[in-house]
Amino acid sequence: MSSLFGVFRLFIGSRRGNFALTAALVLPVLLGGVGLAFDMAAMVNQRTVLQNGLDTASLAAVSALAAKDKTTLNVKSYAIDFLVAQLSGQLPSNVVEDLKTSTTVVPDKNTVGTQTTYTVAMSARITVELTPFTRLLGFTNRKIAARSSTSSVVVGNALSLYLVVDRSGSMSWVTNTALSTPASCQNYADLEDWAYYPDIAATSPCYLNKMGALKQAAATLFDTIDSIETLDANNHVTRTGSVTFTDKEQAASALAWGTTTARAYISALPSYPSGGTDMSDAMDTAYAALTAASEATEHANHGNTHVQKFIVLMTDGENTGASSKHKPSLDTKTLNACTSAKNAGITIYTVAFMAPTLGKTLLLACSGSSSNSYTADNASELITAFEAIAKKVSDRSTKLTN
């Protein structure tokens, strides 16, 4: 028995096999620790790459929204494609490919008054395969997630717009647009027809006259302004007014919130007006209304700190007063009003509708820029001109902050 105990003591005291046993037990742990340290550094680096990519992609997406290059409906795919392109070459190709399905994009648009806030929130998750050393500890891969949210504020301009339009006798004359209904109507085509005003016999087909074309064109302008107004629940972003002229200024529709009053004023214009042409007093009225202290107060009372002001002037003739001959003195008076308005920061758009050369020349000078002056030789071109003006008026963005 004592010999057995001796053998046991010799085994316990021996150092020859203990190193191998210890190494067999400890080495996997040591290697796993080394692998874990390596993988942790790699995961930190990849998460930084992912976070930077998300930050850049969300900023690009929200900038596209604010610039109106994208909408909340199509910005999601844009943001994901941007992220994938951004991270290609920085992450393994299979990881980048997984981003197409693992990335979520939540865009938002919130408008209050003249301020619109765009927000894009993005999140993504990638899978990192661990080194064989770390797998000795029982881990094969780890998930890495990151989030980013970017907001941009677009401060838009409120607007005040005065429509100054011709309702002289020549606005009763026909365009080349035939109407399906009514079957017949009074068609004034020339001075010979005008000699029978207002009792000329109806003829067929019925042609849209200039006044009818004006009403359609003005409606397109008002519709665009209404689309701006609907973004604000309080309807305190846009103000419009209207005034018409023959050889003298007609009663005006004062500036009011929205387009209801101005739209009704234009709609109520006579289908067959009469009279000569003098646009000078009407331009004075528009200028005075837009620069009045009361107009600034109306906007200030509703928090509108950025206000754009416009005059849209349309005529189909030249300044003749009550006569049939051109009167240069009325041109001078008209241009003085135009100059005063432009000096006050008012943008003037002009439309010469089937107008003579002197009328076109006056309107070009009044606007001060060929890009702000339009000519229309038929009803379709008149509507197109008003649509173009409407788009310019509706472009109200003034600044972008991220």
Interval 104-113 mean pLDDT: 86
pLDDT band at 361 (very low <50, low <70, confident <90, very high): very high
Q: Which residues pair with 205 in a beta bridge?
A: none
- Dump pLDDT digits (tens) for 86-102: 888 888 888 888 888 88
- Dump pLDDT digits (tens) for 133-178: 555 555 566 788 889 999 988 766 789 999 999 999 999 999 999 9
State the pairing for strand pair 174-179/206-209: antiparallel
Joined tokens for residue 199: 């009792």
* pLDDT value, residue 250: 97
Contacts of 27 (CB under 8 A, 6+ apart): none
Global pTM exceeds 0.75: no
Across 52-56, 123-127, 141-145, least confident range:
141-145
DSSP string, 262-311: HHHHHHTS-SS----B--HHHHHHHHHHHH-HHHHHHHHTTT---EEEEE
Angle between helices 328-343 and 280-291 (to 10 degrees): 10
Q: Which domains, and CATH codes, for the chain?
A: 2-155 (no CATH), 158-401 (3.40.50.410)
Cα maximum dimension of the chain: 148
